[in-house]
Amino acid sequence: MVEQARSWLKENSTLVLFLVAQLIALGAAATTILAYSVKLETRVHIMETRGAEYTVARMEEMKQRITVLEQGIKQNEYSINRIIAIMTRDLGKTPP
């Protein structure tokens, strides 16, 4: 019986390797899903612990940053429009 099993393994070594590789891949996928679940649960726990006050404070920080960026955009738009006005002002003139 042992000889029969050995000969079967020799004949079907590719199949056995394929099945072992699939088991390893399934184990890796399960480990990845478990790690993601733990990470997600940790985030939820942290948010529940810190509460809404922390979240509101972070949102206010983000609003301030957005306001600063918007001001920079407005200044850049003004500068670009001024440069365009200066460059196009001279286009209508013909050279002497």
pLDDT score, position 69: 95
Q: What is the rounded CA–CA span in Å between residue 18 and residue 27?
A: 14
pLDDT score, position 45: 86
Per-residue pLDDT of the chain (96 residues; tens, 9 = 90+): 888 888 888 898 999 999 999 999 999 999 999 999 999 999 888 878 877 777 788 889 999 999 999 999 999 999 999 888 888 887 766 555
pLDDT score, position 65: 95
Q: Phi and psi (nearest 5°) for 91? A: -70, -30
pLDDT score, position 89: 80
pLDDT score, position 95: 55
pLDDT score, position 52: 72
pTM of the model: 0.45
**Letter string b/e over residues 31-55, b meaning 16 or more CB atoms within 10 A of that residue's CB:** eeeeeeeeeeeeeeeeeeeeeeeee
Give whole-number Cα distances, 6 to 14, 20, 52, 92, in Å.
14, 17, 64, 92
User: Which pair of tokens denotes residue 90?
Assistant: 């001279």
